[in-house]
C-alpha cells in the first residue's frame, strides 16, 4: 500500500455511494460527469482505510464549489513560502535526478514530505486522463506544456493563480492558472569539441540533413516531452509535410534516436556522436565536468525562425488531495529560492524578461532575452501534439 | 493424466453424475460423461487462473477502444512486418548463443574429466543471479565508445580517447543477442545438466556394450535423450528474447517491448500500444503452443530417474581437457567474473568506503520494497501453481488451468504493466496506486515457470505412491504430506526460490506499475543507467541486487550436495 502518512483526515469521507461499475463508466464517458462524482470514487478507492466521518457532509456539499474554492487552501500564499507540513505527490515528467534539487529545497523549506512519480510527459498526461480526477497525484510538473494545456482543456487541472506567477509572460502560462511555466529551457545542438570541425558547425537544425553530418547526429526519442513539443512547434511553423520530411531526411542521414536526452548528451560527451539535439541544460553538467562539449543556438540568423524556448509547467491536479501543499509547491517553484536549484545547477533560465542567470551561467549559455525564438501558442500546440504522437511515435521510438 | 482420472473414477460416482450432467444421453458413451464430470471438477481450478487471464482479456478490451482499421493502420505505421522479422532474428541468435554457452558447459561438468568440474558445475546456475539488464549495463560500461575498454586502449596508446577509433559493437540487436544469450544460458545449462543426471546410465552402458564408441554413444543415445532438455531450455531462452525489456532497452535494440514502452511514454493511445502488444502475445503464445507440442511426449517417471542424480560414464577428454577448461573459464569469466569484477570496480568510484556505505544504506527502503513484493509475488505464484499442479498430478483436471497459467508467460512485463494499470483503475480501484499490483504482476509473470517446477517436482513421485498410501486408508491430504511432500519438497522449495529471484529482479512491469515513491532495486538501476548514464551508482545498486539474488542461491547450493543445481534434481531433501 502506498502510504501517505498523516494525510489530512478531513480529506477522507464516508463512502456515500459506491457504484461497482464506476470504473467502466468513468473511463468511457465525459469529463463533466467525472467532476461531479469525484469524491465518491476517491473514497471508494481507499476502501480499506479507516474512515473519518466528521466532515463528510460538509465535504459532500462543497463538491460543486470545489473548482472555484478548494477546501483546505492556505489562507494566503505570499511570495516566500512558509512551513506547511504534510505530504505531496508530484507527477514529474522531469527526470528524478534533475527534479531532486528542487524537491529537496522545497522539503527543507516547507517541511512537506514529497513523493515523486517520475514518468514520460505523455505517459503522465494519459494516466491523469485515465484517473479522471481520481488521481493519486497532487501536482503535475511537466516538460511538455502542451500536454498540460490539453489536460486543462479537458478540465483535469485545478486552476490556481499563484501570486508568484505575476511576472511570468502570458505566453508561458494558462490564463486561468491551470498551468504555469516556471522556468525556461531552449532547444540546442550540443557538440563534441574534439570531433566537430569549427568550420563545419551547423548554424541551423535544418542543416543536419546534409551528408557531411551523416551518422554524426543523435536525438532523443519521442518519450521526451520536449521532443514532442519541438516537433509540434516545427509543424506549426513550417507545416506537417515539411516536418515529416525533415525527420525522415535526418533518419536517412543516419540519425541515432536514443532513449532520452541524457543518453544523447552522454553520447556526445563520449564521442559516440558529434552532434546531439538536446535541451540546453544537458550541456551544462557535461561542460562543468570538463567534457569536451560545446553548445550551438541554432537558427538565430536574421532570416531564420529562431530556436524553441519552452517552459517547465507546473499545475495542480483536479482532485488533488493535498491542495495546500500543492499550492505551496506551485508558489515555491515560481519563487526565486525555488528556482535557484534549477538556475544554478542546470542553468535553466527564468522566464521573466530581464532576469538573467548571473554568475551561475556556464560558458555558452544564454538567458531568454538573448535567444531568438518562435512565439508559442500552447492551445494550438496542444492540438498539433496529438498529431505529433500519431506521426512520430512509430518512427522516433528509439532503437536500431 | 486425464485418462487416468477417467479410469479410476468409481462407477457409482459416474452414475450419480449421469442424470444431472447429461440427462438425455442415456446411450451416450461413458467417456463423455467422464469428460464432462472432470470438466466440472476442474472449474474451481480454472477460476484460479483468472488473475493471469484477466490482464490479457483487458488488453483485448484496450485494443478494442480503437476501430479495426485504426489498429491496422497503427500496426502498419509501426512497421510490424520488419519488426517481427528482426525480433525473430534476435530471438534465434540469442537462443543459439545461449545453447552454445550453456549446453557444452553442462555436458563438460556432468560427463567429462575436465579439471575443476565440480567448481564449474557449481557455478553453472549462478549467472542467473545476474539479471540480464545488469549484464547489459556491465557490457555497456565495458564496450561502449568512451567506455572502459576504449579508455584503456587510449591509455595504452597515450592518446585521448576521441582520437582512438573504436567501433561500439555493443549497441543494437547483435549486442542485445550477445548479452541476452550469455545471461540466459543458465536456463539451458540447468535443463541439460538435469537431463544428463537423469538419463538412466543403463541405456548408455548398453550402447557401449554393443560396441559403440563414446562419440557414437553420445550421438545415438545421449543426444536424443537430451533433445527435450535442449528444446525446453532453448525455447525458454527464445521466448525470453521476445519478452525481454531491460536488455534491449539499454542496448538500443528496437523490439516489441521497447516500441510498446515508447507508445506508453509518448502518450500515444493505449489502443495502439495494446494492438502491438496483442501481436506480440499471439506470437509468444504460438511459440509456447509449439513448445507444448514438441515436449508433450517427454515425461519422466522411470524409477531410476527419480531416486538419485546418477553419474553417467565419464568421458576422458585427454589433451582436450585444457581446451575444455579454457572454454569453461571463458564462459564463467563472461557471465560471472567479469560482470562482478566490473560492477565492483565501477561501484568503488563512488568515493571513499564511507561514501559507498552511506549510499548503500540509502538504498535500504528500495531493498526492503524489493524483498516484500518479490516474497509476496513468488508465494502467491507458488500457492496458485501448487494447487493447479497438485490437481493435475492427481488427475483432477488442472490441465486447462495450467495452460491458461502458461499464457501469463506469454505476456511481457511491459505489456502486463500497460494492461494492469487501467485494469486496476477501472475495476479494482482499491488496488490502484498500491504496491499490491506488483505481487499480482509477478504472479502473472512467474506462475507458469512455478507451475512447471511444481509439476516437475511432482512428476518425480510416481502416481502409484499416492494410490498406495490412499489404499492404506489415508486421506488425500495425508497422502500429500506423507508421500508427495517429502519426495517433492526440495523441488518445490527450489521452484519458489526461482520465482522469488525472478520477481526480485523484475524490471519491465515494475517500472510501469510501481506506485509513486515505491521503487525497487531494479528500478533504481534503471533510473541511474538511463537518466544519469551508466553511473557508478547504477553499478553499486546492481551489485547489491546481484548479491541479494545470489545469496539464496548460494545458501541453497551449500546446504545441498555440492554441485547439484536446485532445479536439476528431484530427490528428497537430504
pLDDT in tens, B27-80: 444 556 666 766 666 677 778 888 888 999 999 999 998 888 988 988 888 889
Domain CATH code at residue B419: 1.10.3720.10
Q: Which one of A19, A197, A394, A395 makes the best mutation probe of the B interface by having the most chain B beta carbons within 10 Å?
A: A394
| Residue A249 forms contact with B (CB below 8 Å) | no
Alpha-carbon distance of A133 to A31, in angstroms, equals: 9
Alpha-carbon distance of A278 to A218, in angstroms, equals: 9
Out of B160, B249, B528, closest to residue A194 by CB: B160
Out of A46, A134, A223, closest to residue B265 by CB: A223
In a domain, B145, yes or no: no
Alpha-carbon distance of B199 to B567, in angstroms, equals: 15
Parent domain of B444: 351-519
Kindly tell me if the per-residue pLDDT of A13 is higher than 50.
no
Measured between alpha carbons, how far apart are the two ends of chain A, in Å? 39
Mean pLDDT, residues B242-249 taken together = 93
Residues of chain B with C-beta less than 8 angstroms from the C-beta of A43: none
Out of A46, A194, A390, closest to residue B162 by CB: A194
Nearest 5°: phi and psi at A113?
-90, 120
Give the residue, B95 or B569, on which the prediction is more confident. B95
Number of domains in chain B: 1
| 3-state SS class at B137 | helix
Residues paired with A257 in a beta bridge: A219
In a domain, B393, yes or no: yes
What is the pLDDT, as a whole number, of residue A216?
Answer: 95
User: Across the interface, do A393 and B163 touch by the CB < 8 Å criterion?
Assistant: no
How far, in Å, are B200, B205, B212, B217, B568 from residue B221 at the CA level?
A: 11, 10, 10, 5, 20
* CB neighbour list of residue A347: distance below 8 Å, 6 or more residues apart: A280, A281, A284, A357, A360, A361, A362, A365
In a domain, B419, yes or no: yes
Q: How far is CA B563 from the centre of its chain?
A: 21
**CA distance to partner chain A, nearest, from residue B278 (Å):** 17
Query: In terms of DSSP bridges, do strands A180-192 and A309-317 run parallel, antiparallel, or are they unpaired?
Result: antiparallel
Alpha-carbon distance of A122 to A137, in angstroms, equals: 15
* CB neighbour list of residue B505: distance below 8 Å, 6 or more residues apart: B131, B522, B545, B549
Kindly tell me if the per-residue pLDDT of A81 is higher than 90.
no
Give the residue, A224 or A79, on which the prediction is more confident. A224
What is the pLDDT, as a whole number, of residue B311?
Answer: 58
Count Cβ atoms within 10 A of the Cβ of residue A50 and give its class: 0-12 exposed, 13-18 middle, 19 or more buried: exposed
Which of B229, B256, B226 minimizes the C-alpha distance to B241? Answer: B256
Kindly tell me if the per-residue pLDDT of B570 is higher than 70.
no
Torsion sign across C-alpha atoms A248, A219, B134, A92: negative
What is the pLDDT, as a whole number, of residue A16?
Answer: 35
User: Across the interface, do A91 and B254 touch by the CB < 8 Å criterion?
Assistant: no
Out of B172, B421, B433, closest to residue A400 by CB: B172
Q: What is the mean pLDDT of chain A?
A: 81
Alpha-carbon distance of A218 to A226, in angstroms, equals: 15
Mean pLDDT, residues A204-210 taken together = 95
Half-sphere exposure of B351 (CA within 13 A, CB side): 8
In a domain, B92, yes or no: no
**CA distance to partner chain B, nearest, from residue A301 (Å):** 31
| 3-state SS class at B515 | coil
* Count of beta carbons in the 10 Å neighbourhood of residue B473: 7
How far, in Å, are B310, B542, B557, B558 from residue B197 at the CA level?
A: 5, 33, 16, 19
In a domain, B482, yes or no: yes
Kindly tell me if the per-residue pLDDT of A47 is higher than 90.
no
Q: Is the ipTM of this complex over 0.85?
A: no
**CA distance to partner chain B, nearest, from residue A288 (Å):** 15
In a domain, B480, yes or no: yes
- Give A256-268 pLDDT, tens digit per residue: 999 999 999 999 9
| 3-state SS class at A350 | strand
In a domain, B364, yes or no: yes
Alpha-carbon distance of B255 to A63, in angstroms, equals: 46
Q: Cell numbers at residue B21, please? A: 450432467
Specify whether the CB–CB gap between B524 and B406 falls below 8 A: no
Mean pLDDT, residues A375-383 taken together = 91
Rg (CA), chain B: 25
Which of A32, A12, A13 minimizes the C-alpha distance to A132? Answer: A32
**CA distance to partner chain A, nearest, from residue B370 (Å):** 14
**CA distance to partner chain B, nearest, from residue A192 (Å):** 9
- Give B534-559 pLDDT, tens digit per residue: 888 999 999 999 998 888 777 766 66
* CB neighbour list of residue B280: distance below 8 Å, 6 or more residues apart: B242, B243, B256, B257, B260, B412, B415
Specify whether the CB–CB gap between A191 and A296 falls below 8 A: yes
Kindly tell me if the per-residue pLDDT of A41 is higher than 80.
no
| 3-state SS class at A182 | strand
Q: How far is CA B370 from the centre of its chain?
A: 18
What is the pLDDT, as a whole number, of residue A32?
Answer: 38
Kindly tell me if the per-residue pLDDT of B21 is higher than 60.
no
What is the percent of chain A with per-residue pLDDT over 90, rounded to a whole number?
54
- Give B387-433 pLDDT, tens digit per residue: 888 877 777 666 778 888 888 888 899 999 999 999 998 888 888 88
Q: Quote the crossing angle between the two packed helices B11-21 and B30-48, to the nearest 10°.
A: 80
User: Across the interface, do A394 and B79 touch by the CB < 8 Å criterion?
Assistant: yes
Kindly tell me if the per-residue pLDDT of B281 is higher than 70.
yes
Mean pLDDT, residues A380-388 taken together = 92
Mean pLDDT, residues B199-214 taken together = 80
In a domain, B442, yes or no: yes
Amino acid at each position: 500500500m502506498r502510504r501517505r502518512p498523516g494525510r489530512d483526515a478531513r480529506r477522507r469521507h464516508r463512502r456515500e455511494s459506491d457504484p461497482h461499475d464506476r470504473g467502466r463508466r468513468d473511463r468511457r464517458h465525459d469529463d463533466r460527469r467525472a467532476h461531479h462524482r469525484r469524491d465518491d470514487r476517491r473514497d471508494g478507492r481507499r476502501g480499506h482505510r479507516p474512515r473519518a466521518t466528521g466532515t463528510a457532509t460538509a465535504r459532500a456539499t462543497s463538491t460543486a464549489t470545489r473548482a472555484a474554492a478548494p477546501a483546505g487552501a492556505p489562507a494566503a500564499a505570499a511570495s516566500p513560502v512558509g512551513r506547511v507540513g504534510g505530504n505531496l505527490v508530484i507527477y514529474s515528467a522531469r527526470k528524478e535526478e534533475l527534479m531532486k534539487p528542487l524537491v529537496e529545497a522545497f522539503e527543507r523549506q516547507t517541511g512537506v514530505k514529497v513523493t515523486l512519480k517520475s514518468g514520460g510527459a505523455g505517459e503522465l498526461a494519459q494516466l491523469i486522463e485515465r484517473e479522471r480526477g481520481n488521481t493519486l497525484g497532487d501536482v503535475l510538473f511537466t516538460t511538455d506544456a502542451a500536454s498540460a494545456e490539453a489536460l486543462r482543456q479537458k478540465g483535469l487541472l485545478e486552476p490556481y493563480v499563484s501570486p508568484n506567477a505575476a511576472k511570468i509572460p502570458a505566453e508561458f502560462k494558462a490564463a486561468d492558472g491551470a498551468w504555469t511555466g516556471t522556468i525556461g529551457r531552449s532547444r540546442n545542438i550540443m557538440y563534441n569539441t574534439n570531433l566537430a570541425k569549427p568550420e563545419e558547425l551547423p548554424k541551423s537544425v535544418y542543416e543536419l540533413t546534409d551528408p557531411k553530418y551523416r551518422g554524426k547526429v543523435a536525438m532523443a526519442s519521442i518519450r521526451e516531452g520536449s521532443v514532442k513539443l519541438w516537433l509540434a512547434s516545427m509543424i506549426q511553423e513550417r507545416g506537417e509535410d515539411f516536418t515529416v520530411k525533415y525527420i525522415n531526411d535526418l533518419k536517412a542521414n543516419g540519425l541515432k534516436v536514443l532513449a532520452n536526452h541524457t543518453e544523447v548528451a552522454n553520447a556526445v560527451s563520449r564521442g559516440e556522436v558529434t552532434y546531439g539535439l538536446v535541451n540546453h541544460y544537458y550541456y551544462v553538467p557535461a561542460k562543468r565536468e570538463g567534457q569536451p562539449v560545446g553548445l550551438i543556438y541554432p537558427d538565430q540568423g536574421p532570416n531564420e525562425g529562431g530556436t524553441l524556448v519552452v517552459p517547465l509547467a507546473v499545475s495542480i491536479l483536479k482532485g488533488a488531495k493535498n491542495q495546500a501543499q500543492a499550492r505551496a509547491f506551485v508558489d515555491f517553484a515560481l519563487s526565486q529560492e525555488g528556482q535557484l536549484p534549477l538556475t544554478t545547477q542546470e542553468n535553466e533560465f527564468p522566464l521573466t524578461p530581464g532576469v538573467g542567470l548571473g554568475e551561475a551561467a556556464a560558458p555558452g549559455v544564454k538567458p531568454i532575452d538573448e535567444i531568438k525564438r518562435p512565439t508559442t501558442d500552447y492551445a494550438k500546440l496542444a492540438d498539433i501534439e496529438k498529431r505529433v504522437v500519431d506521426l512520430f511515435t512509430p518512427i522516433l521510438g528509439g532503437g536500431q | 493424466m486425464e485418462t487416468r482420472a477417467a479410469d479410476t473414477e468409481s462407477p457409482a460416482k459416474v452414475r450419480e453424475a449421469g442424470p444431472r450432467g447429461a440427462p438425455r444421453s442415456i446411450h451416450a458413451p461413458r467417456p463423455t460423461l467422464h469428460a464432462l464430470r472432470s470438466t466440472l471438477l476442474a472449474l474451481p481450478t480454472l477460476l484460479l487462473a483468472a488473475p493471469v487471464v484477466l490482464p490479457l482479456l483487458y488488453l483485448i478490451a484496450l485494443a478494442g477502444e480503437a476501430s479495426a482499421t485504426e489498429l491496422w493502420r497503427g500496426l502498419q505505421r509501426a512497421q510490424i512486418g520488419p519488426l517481427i522479422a528482426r525480433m525473430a532474428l534476435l530471438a534465434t541468435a540469442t537462443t543459439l548463443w545461449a545453447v552454445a554457452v550453456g549446453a557444452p558447459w553442462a555436458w563438460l561438468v556432468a560427463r567429462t574429466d575436465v579439471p575443476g568440474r565440480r567448481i564449474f558445475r557449481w557455478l553453472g546456475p549462478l549467472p542467473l543471479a545476474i539479471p540480464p539488464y545488469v549484464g547489459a549495463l556491465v557490457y555497456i560500461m565495458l564496450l561502449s565508445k568512451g567506455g572502459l575498454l576504449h579508455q584503456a586502449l587510449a591509455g595504452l596508446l597515450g592518446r585521448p580517447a576521441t582520437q582512438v577509433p573504436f567501433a561500439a559493437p555493443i549497441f543494437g540487436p547483435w549486442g542485445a543477442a550477445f548479452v541476452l544469450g550469455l545471461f540466459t544460458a543458465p536456463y539451458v545449462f540447468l535443463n541439460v545438466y538435469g537431463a544428463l543426471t537423469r538419463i538412466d546410465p543403463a541405456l548408455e552402458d548398453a550402447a557401449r556394450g554393443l560396441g559403440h564408441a563414446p562419440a557414437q554413444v553420445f550421438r545415438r543415445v545421449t543426444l536424443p535423450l537430451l533433445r527435450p532438455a535442449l528444446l525446453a531450455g532453448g525455447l525458454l531462452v527464445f521466448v525470453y528474447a521476445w519478452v525481454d525489456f531491460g536488455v534491449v532497452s539499454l542496448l538500443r535494440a528496437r523490439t516489441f517491448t521497447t516500441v510498446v514502452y515508447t507508445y506508453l511514454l509518448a502518450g500515444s493511445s493505449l489502443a495502439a500500444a495494446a494492438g502491438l502488444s496483442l501481436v506480440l502475445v499471439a506470437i509468444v503464445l504460438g511459440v509456447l503452443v509449439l513448445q507444448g507440442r514438441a515436449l508433450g511426449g517427454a515425461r519422466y517417471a522411470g524409477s531410476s530417474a527419480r531416486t538419485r542424480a546418477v553419474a553417467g560414464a565419464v568421458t576422458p577428454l585427454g589433451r582436450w581437457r585444457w581446451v575444455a577448461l579454457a572454454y569453461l573459464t571463458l564462459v564463467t569469466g563472461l557471465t560471472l567474473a567479469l560482470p562482478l569484477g566490473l560492477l565492483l570496480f565501477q561501484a568503488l568510484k563512488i568515493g571513499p568506503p564511507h561514501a559507498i556505505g552511506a549510499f548503500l544504506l540509502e538504498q535500504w527502503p528500495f531493498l526492503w520494497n524489493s524483498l516484500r513484493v518479490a516474497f509476496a509475488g513468488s508465494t502467491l505464484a507458488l500457492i496458485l501453481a501448487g494447487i493447479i499442479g497438485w490437481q493435475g498430478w492427481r488427475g483432477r483436471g488442472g490441465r486447462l488451468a495450467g495452460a491458461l497459467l502458461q499464457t501469463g508467460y506469454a505476456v511481457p512485463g511491459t505489456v502486463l504493466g500497460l494492461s494492469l494499470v487501467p485494469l486496476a483503475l477501472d475495476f479494482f480501484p482499491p488496488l490502484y496506486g498500491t504496491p499490491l499490483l506488483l505481487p499480482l504482476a509477478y504472479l502473472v509473470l512467474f506462475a507458469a515457470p512455478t507451475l512447471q517446477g511444481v509439476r516437475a517436482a511432482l512428476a518425480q513421485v510416481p502416481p502409484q505412491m499416492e494410490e498406495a498410501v490412499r489404499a492404506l486408508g489415508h486421506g488425500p491430504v495425508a497422502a500429500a504430506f506423507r508421500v508427495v511432500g517429502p519426495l517433492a519438497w526440495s523441488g518445490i522449495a527450489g521452484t519458489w526460490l526461482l520465482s522469488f529471484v525472478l520477481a526480485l529482479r523484475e524490471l519491465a512491469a515494475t517500472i510501469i506499475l510501481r506506485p509513486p515513491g515505491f521503487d525497487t532495486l531494479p528500478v533504481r538501476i534503471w533510473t541511474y543507467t538511463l537518466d544519469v548514464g551508466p553511473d557508478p551508482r547504477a553499478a553499486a545498486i546492481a551489485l547489491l541486487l546481484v548479491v541479494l539474488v545470489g545469496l539464496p542461491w548460494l545458501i541453497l547450493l551449500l546446504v545441498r550436495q555440492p554441485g547439484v543445481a536446485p532445479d536439476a534434481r528431484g530427490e528428497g531433501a537430504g
